[in-house]
Each structure stands twice: as C-alpha cells, then as structure tokens.
Structure 1
Amino acid sequence: MPQQIDHDATDEQLYADLPDPVILKPADLLSDYQPNILAPLVRCSKLPFRHLTSLYETHITHTPMILAEEFSRAQVARISDFSTSLDERGVFWMEKKKSRKGKEAEHEREGHSYSHPEDDRPRQLQTQDGSDHFDDTGRLPRRLPPTPVRPSANHDLVRGCMIAQFASPNPTSLADAAELISPHVDGLDLNCGCPQRWAYNEGIGCALLRKPELVRDMVRCVKDRMGWEWPVSIKIRVDPELKLTEQLIKTALQANISHLTIHGRTRHQSSADPVNLDGIKFAVETVNGQVPCSGNGDIWELNDAVIMRETTGVSGVMGARGLLANPALFAGYKTTPSHCVSQFISLSSSYGLIHPLFHRHLAYMLESQFSRAEKIWFNSLGGPVGAIDWLESRGLGWRKQSERGTIWDARRGRAVVQAI
C-alpha cells in the first residue's frame, strides 16, 4: 500500500523523512530499473536542457558529442563544450525490475552505491533575505523527488546519472579526455554512430562501426587509465550487414564496456526512415545479457518507450528529437506543458545559454502549438527579451515563481501530470 500524503503538513515536514537516494553507476541503474534517457544531442543537450529533462522523469542524461582531441588539448574547448552543476541530476522514485525484487536485488546493489567526487563540496545557498547558509551537513539541500510519498514497496529513491559522450579517432585522446572530465560525470560514452560526412571523414562516429579492434583499443585505453570498473559505454547504429554489428558488439564486450546503446538505423538512413526495432532486438540478443542495453529511435510519446522495451528487450529507452519537441515526454505529457517552458526559461537565465540555442529550444518545444504565421513571427525575434515578451503576451507568466515552485524540483510538474 502506498503511503498517504498529509495535506496539512508543510513541504518541510513532508520531505523531512526522505531516505538518502541510492547512487548507482549507469550500468547498475540500467540493470536494476528501466530508466528513461536523454540522447547526446548535437549542441542541444547542454546543461540547462539536461536539467530541464531531469525534472520530468528522464533518469540518465548525456552531454552533446564532444571531440576528445580538442577537449584534451585546449582549455577554451573544455569551457565551450562542457559545463555542469551540482543540481542537474534528478532524484526519482523508481520501480525495481520484477526479476530483481527483494533480498536478491538488495544484495546485488551492495557495493554499487558510490559517492560522486562533487557530493562533498560545500555549496552556499542564498535565502530570500539575501543571506547565505549551509544545511546541517555543510551542503545545500539536495534535489527533491516529485513526491515525498513512496509509490509502492517496490520503489527506491534513486539519483539520476549524467554521462559525457566523446568522439575520438584514437585511444590516447579519449583517455586524456576521460581523465579530465571524470570528476564531474558518471561515465563516458564513445560515439560510434554519428552519421555526418565530416565525422566519417575524420574517422569518428559511424567510421568506427567497421573498426571493432579500434573501438576495443579505445575502451581498454580508458579503462587502463581510469580503472577497470570505471563506466565506459558505446553508442552504435545497426549495420546493414548484421554480422558486422555482431562482430562489433562481441569485440566491445571483450573490452569490458559497461553498457550498450543501439540506434535502430544504419549510417545511411535519415531520421525520416522508420526505426528498425528488429535490428535493436538483434543487438540485444547478441549481447545475451552480458551488459544492459538501451534503444534509441522514434520515441515521440511515452507509449513508444513501452513498445520499444517490449519489442526489443532493452532496459533503457533514449529520446532525442522527441525530447527536443517535448522535454516532458517521459512524464506522460502529449505536448510540452506551459510550466516546462517556464522551467526552461528560468534554467537558461540561471545557467546562461546563448540566444541561438535558447531560441531554437523554444521553437522546438512550441512548434506544434504555433500556427504558420506565428512560427514565422517567432523566428524573426532577435533576442531572448523579445521571445519572452511575446510568449508572455500569449499568457505564459514564467516570472510567477510562487505559482510554479522552484526550478530545482519537479513537484509542480508531477502534480499536473497526475491530473491529466
């Protein structure tokens, strides 16, 4: 029986008895639960958007693809390509897989919970009266789950993960980049799927699909540098010749990858082509349970994630264009809710986001709600102030903080989704 909410209690009272969240490596999160995942989106899955999706039941997020050679060589590239915060990972009530219930699952999770290097860094909090203070542990209050109530006895409070994705044509650059970014992320993902011609010509992305030995050497080089248990995953596309996909996967498994993500299209297929669920299923069957798997492609609403899991056997489901169009997709919304747009504006203002990306994200989120004339007008707006003023003229009161809660938790979003 789920607990009942005391409607007379204050927020402080409701959340006071929360247990500490379980902190897992990405592969353990995939093994024990069925997480929803934000894909590594070109230029778009930066800090404000990652944080936004984590407010709406997206449990694992990725950076955009980062070029390992530039990242390891130049500080300007590191500053440009990567930023993070102590608050971007979400905290969620997640249901354990049915096959891993009870004492067996608890035993298997022992030793998997770990402390992130940034967890113990003191963080200041500025109160409404302008003063700074710390909590009793010397740290800021942590992210909150959408509700203080455990949905069922089979649910755990779990903190999400954030993974850096890199592209590299050689092992050394990838290991250098891993060492530099490791204090700030929960693992590294090697891009073996970018289909763009420039990437292929540089020997990265899809160019690695038919170079299994190089993929193996890159994974092993990172492991040698960071430790054999440090999480390194790969993201691939299916090959038209499935035996080559099989060869790549088996070679990567020998290198001790932590998990595998499969995009169900080939290098030459565009996003207009339907995702090949049978190809993803073939890859999962090739893995044969040695590591957990995630599937990617054509996730536009929550039911698409259900179908992918049932059809292919993946544990995690990754959204890309669907999350750009609706960052609240995994929370059950059919279109982007107004409070999600408000959260994005607040996060972008807080973290800082260049106007072209800010404008692009808003255009993606609101495209289905705009008429043709409105799209043309919105795209002509030259700065964030103009875009926000125009949205406010349509009734989006994003400055009303008291009505939508804080940007650091998803309680308002969850309350709305339960009502729809």
Structure 2
Amino acid sequence: MGKRQQTDIKTLFEPNKLVKVCAPMVRYSKLQFRNLVKKYDCDLVFTPMILADSFCKSAKARSNEFTTNLLDTPLVAQFAANTIHDFVGASYLISPYCDGVDLNCGCPQGWAREQELGCQMLRNPQSIYALIRECRNQICKPFSVSVKMRLLKDLKKSVEICRQLERCGASFLSVHARTPECSVGPIDKHGLRAVVESVEIPVIGNGGVGSLENCIELQECAKVAGVMVANGILANPTLFSGTNVTPMRCVQDWLDICYNSTLGVQEYEKLCGSEQLSGAPAHIMRLFRGFLNNAKHNLKNNPVQETSKQLAIEINSNVFATISFEKVDENTYDLVHTTIPEELRGRGLGHIFAERIFDHLAGNGRKIKLTCEFLQEYFVKNRVKYSGLIIEDFETRAAP
C-alpha cells in the first residue's frame, strides 16, 4: 500500500451542496469499484466493513481486506469493532492510507449481532462513545472519525445517541433511516430530519435511494448534507451522474479497471467460462445485462426519429440504431444500410429495430425498396406480414 496525500473530508460538506457517497458494501465496494464510481461524480467512497480484530492481528488479513491507490480519495475505511483496542488499533494502522475511519453500528446481519457488532452496538451506546472518543484523541485531525448507524424505534434515543457522538468528536454521521428490524420499505424521513436538526456536524442520509432524483429529494426533505447509496449504485455505478441505467461506456470502464486492458464485452463473454477471469465477472455481466435490457426496451418504446436521409431510434443516451435511406419518390424509401452499435450486435436488436421501422413506415402510408441486405433477410422471414409494404420490383436474394 502506497502512502498518499490525505483529503480533509469535512471540506466536502459545503453549504447547499449534495455530497454523493458510495456506501460500504460487503464484497463490492473494493478498490476497483471505488475507482469506477469516482469516474461518475461520486464524491466520497467507503471500503467494505472490515473486522477490526483480524485487521490488527494479521498482516495477511490487512493485505486481503484493504488495497488502495492514488485515485482512491477521499476514502473512509469502515470497521466493525466493540473494543477500544481493536478500533483504535485498526484505525491507527490504516490511517496513513485513507482519509478517515467509520465505526459500523448499523449492520443488522445475524452473525454481527451474535458478536455484539453492527447494530447490536446501539443497545449499549456508551461503548460507542468510548470508541469514538479514544480514536479521536489518538489520531489527529483532519483525519475523520465517523459512525454509520440505524434509527431506533424510539426516535428520542436515536437523537440522544447522535448528540453524544458529536460531543465525543465524531466528524460526521451516516444514518440509515430504517430500524435494525427493517431492511426494506419506506425510510423514515421524519426521523432522519430530526437527527439532522439535533446536531451541528454533517449527517449523510441512507436508504431507499435508486436515482440522482431520489438523492435530491431526500436532501430537500430531510436536509441532509449528503446521500449514501448502496444497492442503487451497485445496479448503476453512474447513478450520481444522473443516468437511469448503466451506459455501455461504464461497462467498458469496469473491464479496463479490473483487467487493465481494452478487452471488449464480447471478448469478455468468451473468457467468462474459461477460468481466466475471476472475482468480478458476475457483476460485470449484471451491468451489461442491464444495459442490454434497457436497449431492447428503448427500441420497442422510443419514438422513431426521421430526417431527410435517416431513420433512427435512441437506444441509450446519444446512442442510436439507424437506417439510412434514399427517397425514390415522396412515398417510397429505398432503405440502404442498417447500423446497430457494434457492442450490441448479434443480440437480436436488429430484428426489433427492423420491425419498428417497417411498422412506422407502413403506418405512415409509405412503400419501401430494400437495398440493405440485412433488411432483405428480415423481410424474407416476415413476408406475410409486410407483403404489401414492398414495391413490386423488389426481388430477394434468398428464396421465400
């Protein structure tokens, strides 16, 4: 791990600014994914939750659980701990390589509860105060010390815990606006706002966010300084840049980051089963399938755009399927060439596109001539449906 210049995280929290945060996620918010989301307007990233006791005891654990690079800033390392020795010790070891540490007081998983970690810590807030106070005393600012927690059913207790954490020296708080017993469903925006209004330090809201619009709405409603996203950014790493689906360029960025190459998606798919790639393939393909499914949806539903020389449907942001044409007369088009983006060829999109264009022209009373060989082949397979659309002098190159 190379030492690099630290960032003062508190400088991110400027008035009227939305700080966009990638949540700590087991297995996923590792270095490569952090580097990816930073390319798409993410302001602050967290490591996955790390067990502080193992981190202190084992150099192998430190090597396995934490890696970073010069692009990986601002970065907060999150620990699960319930003793001062483990939390402060792990924080001290990692402090040269990140910009802050966070104590996980929100994980609701059974194994964490059994070990008195995560949300179980909220049952004994005095222990949380002791860990934060001692860590703040041992590691100098601007290194941040923060807590990620959930709301309790008794909102007054949540507010009191947050006030005490501020007094203990917490730099900021991240609050998942659900109780430990609730993993899905609406978040408690009222409770989150009550926490925000009870402290002077920045509060990051978390839970129920699936788009940049959701982030903005949560900030406006709860007055949080930032919004942390987990599942939403895992499904779409470009979420903070305002896109609703993962664009193809992000999938390629992910491949480039993970494998330090310009390996294309089609080449990647051929390698997936060959054991030459490991670790991230499932997530890469999840991103790509999302892009492909969105492309199919858009081809079926977006309007046909027509210019004097081209028919087009937008597949994704500024990505189009197109057919170039020449006018034979006012009501007859010679369809010359079909173009599907290279990374999406061979996936049935051409047939969806051809059907939309044929239906569009038929619905507008047009006739067509087919110079494009791909469209000739499509017509042969769908002759019955479109027999009245083709001008009489059309001759297919294949038998009907």
Q: TM-score, normalised by structure 1?
A: 0.63
Asked whether 1:226 is paired with 2:111, we answer no
Q: Which residue in the other structure is 2:217 paired with? A: 307
Q: Which residue in the other structure is 2:255 paired with? A: 345
Q: Choose from 104, 117, 120 the match for 1:207.
A: 120
Which fold has the larger relative contact order, with Cα–Cα distance below 8 Å and residues 6 or more apart in sequence? 1
Following TM superposition, by how much is the alpha carbon of 1:364 offset from its aligned partner in structure 2, in angstroms?
Answer: 3.6
Q: Choose from 84, 87, 96 the match for 1:171.
A: 84
Residues 210, 248 of structure 1: 8 Å contact kept:
no
Gap change, CA 1:321 and 1:198, over 3 Å in 2? same
Residues 6, 99 of structure 2: 8 Å contact kept:
no
Q: Which residue in the other structure is 1:25 paired with? A: 8
Q: Which has the larger radius of gyration?
A: 2
Q: Percent sequence identity over matched residues?
A: 33
Residues 25, 186 of structure 1: 8 Å contact kept:
yes
Q: Which residue in the other structure is 2:18 paired with? A: 34
Structure-1 separation of matches of 2:6 and 2:179: 34
Structure-1 separation of matches of 2:202 and 2:233: 22
**Shift >4 Å, 4+ stretches:** none
Q: Which runs of 5+ in 1 are unaligned?
A: 1-21, 90-160, 375-391, 397-420
Deviations 1:159-202 (CA, angstroms, capped at 9, x unpaired):
xx111011101111111101110111000011110010110111
Residues 326, 336 of structure 1: 8 Å contact kept:
yes
**What's the secondary structure of 1:209's corresponding residue?**
helix
Q: Which residue in the other structure is 1:82 paired with? A: 66
Residues 231, 258 of structure 1: 8 Å contact kept:
yes
Following TM superposition, by how much is the alpha carbon of 1:393 offset from its aligned partner in structure 2, in angstroms?
Answer: 6.6
Asked whether 1:259 is paired with 2:204, we answer no
Residues 329, 335 of structure 1: 8 Å contact kept:
yes
Q: Which residue in the other structure is 1:66 paired with? A: 50
Following TM superposition, by how much is the alpha carbon of 1:88 offset from its aligned partner in structure 2, in angstroms?
Answer: 2.9
**What's the secondary structure of 1:41's corresponding residue?**
coil
| Partner AA of 1:187 in structure 2 | G
Residues 51, 80 of structure 2: 8 Å contact kept:
yes
Following TM superposition, by how much is the alpha carbon of 1:367 offset from its aligned partner in structure 2, in angstroms?
Answer: 4.5
Asked whether 1:282 is paired with 2:194, we answer yes
Asked whether 1:197 is paired with 2:119, we answer no
Q: Choose from 288, 294, 303 the match for 2:204.
A: 294
Residues 263, 297 of structure 1: 8 Å contact kept:
yes
Following TM superposition, by how much is the alpha carbon of 1:229 offset from its aligned partner in structure 2, in angstroms?
Answer: 5.0
Q: Counting strand residues as a fraction of each chain, which structure ranks higher?
A: 2
Q: Which residue in the other structure is 1:385 paired with? A: none
Following TM superposition, by how much is the alpha carbon of 1:78 offset from its aligned partner in structure 2, in angstroms?
Answer: 0.4
Structure-1 separation of matches of 2:44 and 2:244: 21
Residues 212, 251 of structure 1: 8 Å contact kept:
no
**What's the secondary structure of 2:180's corresponding residue?**
coil
Q: Which residue in the other structure is 1:243 paired with? A: 156
Following TM superposition, by how much is the alpha carbon of 1:302 offset from its aligned partner in structure 2, in angstroms?
Answer: 1.0
Asked whether 1:45 is paired with 2:29, we answer yes
Q: Which residue in the other structure is 1:57 paired with? A: 41
The 5 Å alignment of 1:391-406 reads 394-395=344-345
Q: Pairwise CA RMSD of aligned residues?
A: 2.5
Q: Which runs of 5+ in 2 are unaligned?
A: 262-275, 297-341, 347-400
Q: Which residue in the other structure is 1:368 paired with? A: 290
| Partner AA of 2:221 in structure 1 | T
Deviations 1:70-105 (CA, angstroms, capped at 9, x unpaired):
00110111011000001233xxxxxxxxxxxxxxxx
Gap change, CA 1:244 and 1:367, over 3 Å in 2? farther
Following TM superposition, by how much is the alpha carbon of 1:254 offset from its aligned partner in structure 2, in angstroms?
Answer: 1.5
Structure-1 separation of matches of 2:99 and 2:133: 18
